[in-house]
Structure 1
Amino acid sequence: MDFDRTVLVTGGYGFIGSHLVCSLVNGHPGWRIINLDNLDYCCSLRSLESIEDKPNYTFIRGDVCNSRLVNHVFNTENVDVVFHLAAKTHVESSFESPSSFQRVNVDGTGVLLGAARSARHRLQRFVYVSTDEVYGAGLEEVFDESSPVKPSNPYAATKAAAEYLVRSYWDQYKFPIIITRSNNIYGPRQYTEKVIPRFLTLLQMNKKCTIQGVLPKSRHFLFVSDAVDALLLLLDAGVLGETYNVGTSCEIPIVQLARELVRMVKDVPDEEVNNWLEFVPDRPVVDLRYPIASEKLQQLGWRAEVSWAEGIRQTVKWYQDNPNFWLDISEESG
């Protein structure tokens, strides 16, 4: 079968990656979608059960740091587009093992860039998916794409370093890159180390929501389908060499989030909600909030379509319907 376009998604079994792969496979039957993933602890084969037999889907198990494999993929598959999502993302783990984050997030990105640039087939787009955490903490300031990068943890530092590496290929070779920086993305199939599935899984086990520290932390939450829509829009409408914030106005204090999920899952009276909260020691370095401006992306026509009420309803229902999808719990991360 001849395909109009070949799209390589790295980290396609991850949370965002699996939603992107499903959208591409189902929405573009004339495109070939290749998923390169090493199936790390936060991945599940069940995430892509619905599309694994589709004729336009191919899975390659492998590490983005494996230069021999990555070069082989680019030299044999005529890749037109790359969505690079493969990364280590757990903030606490990045303090414990910064070198492993350096290897995957920075070195792996370098391997992909080198292989893509040297391939015989000309690449049309290399979309690098970064994070709002590269900006560091924002109190009153709202970050736009020109704001300085000041990461405050090893995870964010490796994402910022990878961004500089990606941009250097644009500056030196006019390699067709686009960078995205998004708020906290949530939705079905997210691994339990992230704050929303962490709280939901604890509540399903009749355990309290563990809240790190007492400082008034809040996060902006973006539903996963809106994040995928932004990536698909940038595939053709994004300007090469540019960075785009993918943000939302939905900012929720973590304590308020926990209370809302307690009400939804446990259905207890208001006077008993706080009984389901437990404050635990904070992480070594914590950013209170990450406010970003997304006017640049909105000028291309993107808007977040899923309200918080609808997004969290869908998310809670999915975890209630799939209580055994993730069998273990890792530490909470914002």
Structure 2
Amino acid sequence: MTTVLITGGAGFIGSNFVDYIDRHHPEYQIMVLDALTYAGSMDNLPYGMRELDNPRMRFWYGDVVNAELVDTLVNEADYVVHFAAETHVTRSIFDNRLFFQTDVLGTHTVANAVLKAGGRVKRFIHISTSEVYGTAEAPLIDEEHALKPMSPYASAKCGADRLVYSYWATYKLPATIIRPFNNFGPRQHLEKVIPRFITSVFLDEPLTVHGSGGAARDFVYVEDVCRAIDMTLHADGALVDGEVFNVGTGEDRTIASIANDLTALIGTPTTRIENTGDRPGQVIRHTADYDKIRRTLGWEPKVSWQEGLRRTIDWYRTNEDWWRRQLWMRHIPIVTAAGRREYH
């Protein structure tokens, strides 16, 4: 069997990718490594992951910085897709040390394991983020845009991103870096803006918007991101080794407009929307130029904003037991840009 190792596979994008590979490559063996932190759960994974004798699916509970464990798993893998990371901007302001430990040292551990595997791994895909760019300095952000991370989370991911590139440059690892813009879809933790807004409506709570709500992001549906990763995984190395690819839609929308779109789709008055203090290190705008991956691999987003939003709302509406367990994690104490202590 061809074996795919997916680190952080019990998290949001990782679990959606596990599901994608399960559906599109039933002949593959899937290994998941996850530390099951607050953002990861076995409930995100196919039930087959819980069967000890399943020949297609294996779950390993462990930390991505555990070199001995990572070395062992990588030595059994044909492909490695590295999602494992701390990912929440606001949480990184509150508790930044863990972000550098997991995001940078964890990536270092995985990259070293791929190197030590001695050519066994056909492709190593590192999942980076558009946050490494900071605020857009042009109408669209391409892969050559300057890297100016504006939060501890973004700087940790930037360090991991460049570390992987250096392993390709130095050791010619078959490594590719994917920089997704803002993902949304099923199984996303309530700390993120879209599930937080959706569940706030369901709970009859205010929808709290940072600052004026004018910060704009390019939101891409998670299934489109999984398809981009899959296409990169199986591409000719001459096309993707050592390359960076943006994955987005080329359209941005403000946080205020997202709150308005959600209230309109669910049928809740906009008077429920409230503004809080602005977050420190706030990125003003991210908009993807995804022309490189379109030209190289033929990838384009397929799921529209409205369709993705409808699917996401429907998932949270029918999976209340899943998200109610996360309610206590939705808000984080920080000092705002204006110096006030607030829960975001």
Q: Distance in 2 between matches of 1:115 and 1:281?
A: 43
For 1:290, the aligned partner's letter is: H
Question: For 1:249-268, what aligned pairs fall within 5 Å after superposition?
Answer: 249-265=250-266, 267-268=267-268
Q: Distance in 2 between matches of 1:86 and 1:263?
A: 35
Q: Distance in 2 between matches of 1:74 and 1:15?
A: 22
For 1:20, the aligned partner's letter is: F
Q: Relative to 1, partners in 2 of residues 1:255 and 1:150: Cα closer, same or farther, differing over 3 Å?
A: same
Q: State the Cα distance separating 1:44 from its structure 2 match.
A: 2.1
Q: Distance in 2 between matches of 1:103 and 1:249?
A: 32
C-alpha contact 1:250 1:308 (8 A) present in aligned 2: no
Offset from partner CA, 1:279-331 (integer Å, 9 cap, x none): 11121110111112111100111110111121111110111111121223323
For 1:47, the aligned partner's letter is: N
For 2:273, the aligned partner's letter is: L
Q: 1:18 aligns with which of 15, 20, 35?
A: 15
Aligned length: 324
Q: State the Cα distance separating 1:39 from its structure 2 match.
A: 0.6
**Aligned match of 1:280:** 276
* DSSP-derived class of the 1:21 partner: helix
Offset from partner CA, 1:135-193 (integer Å, 9 cap, x none): 10015442111111111111010111001111111111111100011110101111101
Question: For 1:25-40, what aligned pairs fall within 5 Å after superposition?
Answer: 25-40=22-37
Q: Does 1:84 align with 2:82?
A: yes
**Aligned match of 1:244:** 245
Q: 1:313 aligns with which of 310, 315, 331?
A: 310
For 2:277, the aligned partner's letter is: P
Runs of 5+ consecutive residues of structure 2 not aligned to the other structure? 333-342
**Aligned match of 2:58:** 58
Q: Distance in 1 between matches of 2:58 and 2:35?
A: 14
C-alpha contact 1:25 1:57 (8 A) present in aligned 2: no
Q: Relative to 1, partners in 2 of residues 1:61 and 1:121: Cα closer, same or farther, differing over 3 Å?
A: farther
Q: Does 1:322 align with 2:319?
A: yes
C-alpha contact 2:10 2:34 (8 A) present in aligned 1: yes
Q: Distance in 2 between matches of 1:100 and 1:201?
A: 27
Q: State the Cα distance separating 1:51 from its structure 2 match.
A: 4.1
C-alpha contact 1:215 1:288 (8 A) present in aligned 2: no
Offset from partner CA, 1:225-270 (integer Å, 9 cap, x none): 10000000001225101000111033221111111211222x24xx
Q: Relative to 1, partners in 2 of residues 1:244 and 1:14: Cα closer, same or farther, differing over 3 Å?
A: same
Identity of aligned residues (%): 39
**Aligned match of 1:295:** 291
Q: Distance in 1 between matches of 2:251 and 2:315?
A: 21
Q: Distance in 1 between matches of 2:79 and 2:127?
A: 13
Moved over 4 A (4+): none
For 1:59, the aligned partner's letter is: F
* DSSP-derived class of the 1:126 partner: strand
Offset from partner CA, 1:4-23 (integer Å, 9 cap, x none): x1110001011110011111
Offset from partner CA, 1:24-63 (integer Å, 9 cap, x none): 1232222111011011101222111344355311111110
* DSSP-derived class of the 1:248 partner: coil
**Aligned match of 2:232:** 234
Q: Comparing 133-142 with 62-71, which one deviates more in the overlay?
A: 133-142
Q: Does 1:112 align with 2:114?
A: no
Q: Distance in 2 between matches of 1:328 and 1:50?
A: 21
Q: CA RMSD in A?
A: 1.8
Q: Distance in 2 between matches of 1:245 and 1:311?
A: 19
Q: Distance in 1 between matches of 2:73 and 2:227?
A: 26
For 1:191, the aligned partner's letter is: H
Q: State the Cα distance separating 1:70 from its structure 2 match.
A: 1.1
C-alpha contact 1:138 1:289 (8 A) present in aligned 2: yes
Q: Does 1:219 align with 2:220?
A: no
